[in-house]
Structure 1
Amino acid sequence: MIYKIGKLISRIVLSLVFFAKIEGKENIPVDGPVIICSNHRSYFDPPLLGSYIKRPLRFMAKEELFTSKWFGPLIQKLGAFPVKRGGSDRGALRKGINVLANGEMLLLFPEGTRSETGEIREGLTGVGFFALKSEATVIPAYIQGKYKPFRRVALRYGSPISLEGLRKNQASSREVTDHIMSHIQKLKDEAQKPKNR
């Protein structure tokens, strides 16, 4: 219930304040495990990525956010689970794998932190790990805009990324991550192309 309420409130704010434009929702499978991999611009990104799709979205958040007596339990009910920054967090990795094993959707920000400039940086190998250790469908996503009031923020979900060849050839987590990041970069390049008039 709290997730649905949070989703509704987020959708209202994102639509009325940031004129959110969403494309590519049809690319998201209606069932089965899914990993959504997106660039990261703002704390508003998780609500934007989760508010306009039907399926609940789980995501990692830095463990410091869970120390608050009221905020920690709230974001847990909104789909978040803690991760330690600055190193490998095996507990968070196991949790993410369990989310996918249960057929749920997992949101990952491969860059690991927000990009102040909007440039897409090298992804962390954790995203490749999740893709290789699960049979999840991987969906790239790109967010364009700075969340300024009454300025449009656009989100596009791309087509599923084929990982069959990489999995078959036992590619490394680094190789899979780089492959996924190239698809996010492609979405960015397409979003920045001048529109024909």
Structure 2
Amino acid sequence: MSDSTYRTVVAICYPAFWVSGRPVVIGRKNMPLTGPVILAPTHLSHYDVPLLMAETPRNIDFMSVVEFLSVPFVGRLFTEMNCFFLDRGRVDLKSVRTALDRLKKGRLVSMFPEGHIREFDDSIIHGRPFKPGIARLAYLSGAPVVPCVVLGGDRFKKPSAWLPLMRTRYGVSFGQPLSARAELPEREAVQDLVQRLGDAYPRLYKTLSAAMDRKQLGRTPG
């Protein structure tokens, strides 16, 4: 496992977002800079991943899906960037063991609790349900979960959004770390953490959306 490819990709790609983007980032200080952490972002766009890489102050080990392994160049690149792959067609204990091993080594592991890209109205930012696997992983590993909302990634679908100084707005909001309650039995602890995460996403969305609106009007978010 090596971080060099990840850092190289960030170094190459970040300037494109820097010259074209107008980011609003909230709560970056909520991300622990060391130790095991589970990052749990929303998933509204394919561009969520590069935006997270640009704005997260640590290297991220993403859990991706096995379908990418069959895509020429992409599967190898993702592997070199420390991604690991989930087979959604079965109970994939191997990916769970990999995630636990990465966390044991003090890594930042990112999983999309929604499981796939969702339509805006069906997102967890509106209180929609999500997979409990992320809460179970937190219970088994003892690692805190940082809920995260990413907005505006879909705007980069337009080629014009990449032009220098277009100031394409996007937003990333990192919530307070949430830990599974170890004193509870596993099932109760998982349900409790799912509930607290589910409550966090609408709050993060509301705050980030308001901050992005203020940015649009030329005022600095509070």
| Normalised TM-score (structure 1) | 0.88
2:63 alignment partner in structure 1? 60
Deviation of 1:90 (Å): 0.9
Q: C-alpha separation between the residues in 2 aligned to 1:122 and 1:66?
A: 28
Kept after mapping to 1: 8 A contact 2:179/2:193: no
Equivalent residues, number: 195
Q: Which has the higher helix share?
A: 2
SS of the counterpart of 1:36?
strand
Consecutive unaligned residues of structure 1, counting only runs of 5 or more, are: none
Runs of 4+ off more than 3 Å: 192-197
Aligned amino acid, residue 57 of structure 2: K
Deviations 1:23-46 (A, max 9, x none): 222111121100111111112212
| Normalised TM-score (structure 2) | 0.79
Identify the match of residue 20 of structure 2 among 17, 22, 26: 17
Deviations 1:55-80 (A, max 9, x none): 21101111010113422111111231
- Higher mean displacement: 79-88 or 166-175: 166-175
Q: Relative to 1, partners in 2 of residues 1:127 and 1:143: Cα closer, same or farther, differing over 3 Å?
A: same
1:137 alignment partner in structure 2? 144
Deviations 1:132-172 (A, max 9, x none): 00121221111122431243110011122253xx3212224
Consecutive unaligned residues of structure 2, counting only runs of 5 or more, are: 156-160
RMSD: 2.2
1:117 aligns to 2:137 (yes or no): no
- Percent identity of the aligned residues? 25
Kept after mapping to 2: 8 A contact 1:11/1:52: no
